[in-house]
Structure 1
Amino acid sequence: MKFVAVSSCPTGIAHTYMAAEALEQAGRAAGHEVVVETQGAAGSQPLDPAVIAAADGVIYAADLEVQGRDRFAGKPFVDVGVKKAVHDAPGVVAAAVAAVEAAPAAGSSASPTAAVATAAPATRQVGTGTRIRQYLMTGVSYMIPFVAAGGILIALGFMLASVAWAENGAIEVTGVDAAVLWTAFEWGNLQHWAVLLFQTGALAFGFLVPALSAYIAYAIADRPGIAPGFVGGSIAGLVGAGFLGGIATGFLAGFVALWLARRNVPKGGRGVMPVVVIPLVTTLVVGFATFLIIGPPMKAINDALTAWLNGLSGGALIPLGILLGLMMCFDLGGPVNKVAYVFATTGLINAAGDIGSTEARIMAAVMAAGMVPPLAIALATTLRPRIFTEAERESGKSAWLLGASFISEGAIPFAAADPVRMLPSFMLGGAVTGGLTMAVGSGLVAPHGGIWVTPLISLPLLFLLALAVGTVVSAFAVLFAKNIGRNPQEAVLDDAESLAALSGAR
């Protein structure tokens, strides 16, 4: 059989492409052809209409709203979510085959409607809570590029400012009028280059809340929700409601736009609804509500959270670091991981570039903990290769680079194959690293990059030490967990092989 598939995940990075590869491999192994369209962070290359027309069925492995779903109308399908495709691709392909085989049984006419109705039992039932999470994760996925680009540029600007100004570079660069960039820029002036980096990053980072709000609204109401979502997010930032206000305005804009889009209007007025009426009315409603109703309480909550974080110091931050470390390693890029990450990145708005602030220390702890799982599994496969399969050993090699780049999803193949043993082992190492990073006081205002942004980290050697300790703890926890229930004689042989590998005897 021939299948077309669509894969997407909240961040559009690892899960999206891992699901695509797993489905393609499972299809080949079962004697079928699977062509996947990845709707990820790098964009998507739409499937050829001829390929869609020739397909027997469709596989949706998506945690976000599928773009262009109407292209597949009339074909039997299964809808399983991205994690199911990563964890059990053969089962997903088998379900798709069953849906296609069952389709003609719906009636002799084999109508498209009957085919879809027959395939429906294989469809994932999506509840209200899941839908809300999908909307929120769509906003987060579109927000992350603004966070990463803006945050790293700001950090680079501060790093250059520390060289360009003898003292207080971070304060000096923020006080320079941006007009110098287009009125008196000097190519050989380090101060001007620092201002350029800082201002560009600050403008990119300034879209964080508006983008979050706009794309939550987009996930709910499609394109009519984008404009009021952006306006609502901008107002939330203006009144000091922060990212919590952006989330609220995103949902408000989306549901108001969706309600208006579903109104029955005379045929002559349908053309102006999506381009004039819906954006106009929704923006007015969202603007009124944000300024007068949503903004004040959200600002109070945001101010209270900021005051609480600023009140934490020294040992009080260590439990927070441990909690964030546990969350970063709990589901490796899933919702819990993203809650911790978004908490850290949005807090950078209040850090104002201060690498010693509580918000910067939280970001450092989150990044360090998120690097632990792939690095730990890479170390574990190096120390005891015998207890891992050939495929796992190969994945372990690539996990070195993924972990160093702060891509927690590099450990997913191992967690998917053995979650009961792997996830607690990862969480142990993440908690150790998160707590230690807080304890040593490292700070970071760049929201991504892994070890490649080490020059932007305060106390970088202590940061790397905390990361190394957590990685070793997690790796040995993995090895211990893998040996539970194994033959003692096999474990002794594995120990001997590991020692030989470490000494270079092999």
Structure 2
Amino acid sequence: MKLLAITSCPNGIAHTYMAAEKLAKAAEKMGHEIKVETQGSIGVENELTPEDIQSADGVIIAADKQVDKSRFYGKRVLEASVTDGIRKPEELIAKFERNEVPVYGKPQSDTLKTIEEVKTERKQKQSPIYRNLMNGVSYMIPFVVIGGLLIALSLAIGGEPTDKGLVIPKGSIWNDILNVGAASFTFMVPILSGFIAMSIADRPGLAPGMIGGYIAANGSFYGSEAGAGFIGGIIAGFLAGYIAKWIKSIPVPKIVQPIMPILVIPLFSSILVAVIFIFILGQPIAGIMEWLTSWLNSMQGASKVILAMILGAMIAFDMGGPVNKVAFLFGSAMIAEGNVHIMGAIAVAICIPPLGLGLATLLNKSKFTEEEREAGKAALAMGLVGITEGAIPFAARDPLRVIPSIMIGSMVGSVIAMLSGVTDHVPHGGPIVAVFQAVEHVPMFFVSIIIGMVVTALLVNAIKKPV
């Protein structure tokens, strides 16, 4: 068969390319031809052409964010999570061999499915709420990264120590760079909201989503000193998306249809979102955000330890999956709220699973296969640049031993980082963020990472059986 595939994950970094590689290897092993389009953070690569689609026997979409399927009308299309693309590539391809994949755009009654097939298909498809949220997050992250790096660099290079901490002199070039970084942060919530709404209602949802996000972030619309923050942005995005989708579903005369997506839907959706947020939702959500920020800033001692343990465990649990992304989104949002200690703990936890497992393969080779030892070298490299997914090959083979080990290691590292005042100004982790001077208390940042990775390595080697 000639198959096509698209792989895409919310961050567009590791999962996207790991799934592409696994699908390509599986297809080759099973005697099929495959071309994989990756939709990563760098954009679309190896794009599928109309000729490719025309001659294809089927399409696999292994993605955790929205992918446009309109070009595949009339083709057999199998949708799965990007994790299934990594862990079950042979199973996905085998469905085409057994002729179990429905034709996209074909009525349900024309495609016979067993109850078990329906159950399997539903299980594979992720929650639309999660998928829509992650679509917004994937577009938001570059703005937070740029803003955080520019602010961190301006403070590190242009800052002058005073009794109030680092201060950048007015009129200096570094003050301008600081302002550019702050401007990048102001886009965070509107971008998050806009692309959540676009994921739900397609392009007509983008403008009302971004407008709703801007209103959510700007408390002056509803008489609040602080805006509704990322929580308000998420709610505004879903609100705008579902309102736009509802308006799209209203039957209209043919003469009006051409202006619906560019005028009618965005206009009325924007008005409804603005009214609901300004007069109903704005102030209550802003109050919640003020309480949350105040509570986090007031955390001391035991409460800080508990928070760090929870975040560390979540980051390691599914190595870039939904649980990891919830913790990551929380830390990213807190950067904009001025609480960079949260991201400091998360930045440590992010790199411990791959670094710890890579170290484990070096300390006790008898516990790992030749393939795992090679994966250990790759895991060390991925850990240095903050890619938690480097731990996936080990967890896939031995989840009951590997996952608890990496969770405990990340929890230990997070706690040490939190208690020692480690901060991170960008939503990323691993030693790479220290290179960009985005981290404060750098020695303790590395101490936290080293202790966490040693704990992981010793634990996994203690409970793993020799191969």
Is the 2:244–2:265 contact (alpha carbons within 8 Å) kept by the matching residues of 1?
A: yes
Determine which structure has more spread, i.e. the larger CA radius of gyration: 1
Cα gap change, 1:127 to 1:399, in 2 (>3 Å): closer
Residue aligning to 1:408: 388
Cα gap change, 1:291 to 1:64, in 2 (>3 Å): same
Q: Does 1:390 align with 2:387?
A: no
Alignment root-mean-square deviation, CA: 2.3
Residue aligning to 1:372: 352
**In the TM superposition, what are the counterparts of 1:45-194 in structure 2 within 5 Å?**
45=45, 46-67=47-68, 69-99=69-99, 117-118=111-112, 121=117, 124-125=121-122, 130-163=127-160, 168=164, 170-172=166-168, 176=170, 192-194=172-174
Choose which of 443, 448, 454 in structure 2 pairs with 1:461. 443
- Unaligned runs of 5+ residues in structure 1 are 181-191, 352-358, 491-506
- Unaligned runs of 5+ residues in structure 2 are 220-226
Q: Does 1:443 align with 2:426?
A: no
SS of 1:448's equivalent in the other structure is coil
- C-alpha separation in 1, matches of 2:190 and 2:123: 27
TM-score after normalising by structure 1: 0.85
**1:306-329 per-position Cα deviation (integer Å, ceiling 9, x unaligned):** 111121124431221111111110
| Sequence identity percentage | 42
Choose which of 441, 461, 465 in structure 2 pairs with 1:479. 461
Residue aligning to 2:228: 241
- C-alpha separation in 1, matches of 2:439 and 2:49: 46
**1:212-256 per-position Cα deviation (integer Å, ceiling 9, x unaligned):** 100100100011111111111111110110100001100010001
Is the 1:229–1:249 contact (alpha carbons within 8 Å) kept by the matching residues of 2?
A: yes
Paired amino acid for 1:283: S
- C-alpha separation in 2, matches of 1:280 and 1:114: 35
- C-alpha separation in 2, matches of 1:294 and 1:234: 14
- C-alpha separation in 1, matches of 2:126 and 2:2: 33
1:386 Cα shift? 3.3
- C-alpha separation in 2, matches of 1:115 and 1:70: 20
- C-alpha separation in 2, matches of 1:33 and 1:208: 41
SS of 1:17's equivalent in the other structure is helix
Is the 1:77–1:99 contact (alpha carbons within 8 Å) kept by the matching residues of 2?
A: no
Choose which of 379, 390, 394 in structure 2 pairs with 1:399. 379
Is the 1:75–1:116 contact (alpha carbons within 8 Å) kept by the matching residues of 2?
A: no
Higher alpha-carbon deviation: 10-19 or 368-377: 10-19
- C-alpha separation in 2, matches of 1:113 and 1:224: 26
Is the 2:79–2:125 contact (alpha carbons within 8 Å) kept by the matching residues of 1?
A: no
**In the TM superposition, what are the counterparts of 1:320-331 in structure 2 within 5 Å?**
320-331=307-318
Paired amino acid for 1:162: G
SS of 1:59's equivalent in the other structure is strand
Is the 2:81–2:125 contact (alpha carbons within 8 Å) kept by the matching residues of 1?
A: no
Choose which of 242, 252, 263 in structure 2 pairs with 1:265. 252
Cα gap change, 1:242 to 1:467, in 2 (>3 Å): same
SS of 1:309's equivalent in the other structure is helix
SS of 1:441's equivalent in the other structure is coil
- C-alpha separation in 1, matches of 2:241 and 2:123: 19
The structure in which a higher percent of residues are helix is 1
Corresponding pairs, count: 453
Q: Does 1:2 align with 2:5?
A: no
Choose which of 333, 355, 366 in structure 1 pairs with 2:320. 333
Is the 1:329–1:373 contact (alpha carbons within 8 Å) kept by the matching residues of 2?
A: yes
Is the 1:372–1:470 contact (alpha carbons within 8 Å) kept by the matching residues of 2?
A: yes
1:126 Cα shift? 6.5
- C-alpha separation in 2, matches of 1:213 and 1:112: 32
1:113 Cα shift? 6.1
Residue aligning to 1:196: 176
Residue aligning to 1:504: none
Cα gap change, 1:91 to 1:128, in 2 (>3 Å): closer
1:195 Cα shift? 1.3
Paired amino acid for 1:480: A
- C-alpha separation in 2, matches of 1:379 and 1:11: 26
**In the TM superposition, what are the counterparts of 1:334-353 in structure 2 within 5 Å?**
334-351=321-338
Choose which of 269, 273, 284 in structure 2 pairs with 1:297. 284
TM-score after normalising by structure 2: 0.91
Is the 2:351–2:429 contact (alpha carbons within 8 Å) kept by the matching residues of 1?
A: no
